[in-house]
Amino acid sequence: MTVSPNATSIVPGRTDAMLQIRDPDQARLNHLAARAKMIAENISVKGPVEIRTQVIAKLPPAPLDAALVRPCGRIGLSIG
């Protein structure tokens, strides 16, 4: 996230944020990207902020290495 101006006690005039969506299933990626865009558009319509979306990169899905899946799953289960 980038905030401008990035100064104490000043309300920023602009904030840029990036959202990465990852999943091994292309249909789910498409659905999540469309949902994120819809949420941003709904917020923008209600105001008082304007939200613009832009796709920076659209890469094909890739499975997570199995050597990482198991430890991540265990950690997730351990923290609830």
Q: How far is CA 75 from CA 15, 24, 25, 67, 72, in A?
A: 33, 20, 23, 13, 5
Domain ranges of the chain: 2-79
Q: What is the pLDDT of residue 32?
A: 95
pLDDT in tens, 24-61: 899 999 999 999 999 999 999 998 888 999 999 999 99
pLDDT in tens, 2-19: 888 888 888 888 899 999
Q: How far is CA 22 from CA 11, 17, 49, 66, in A?
A: 32, 16, 27, 16
Residue for token digits 């990036």? 18
* Nearest residue to 60 via CA among 28, 36, 37, 12: 28
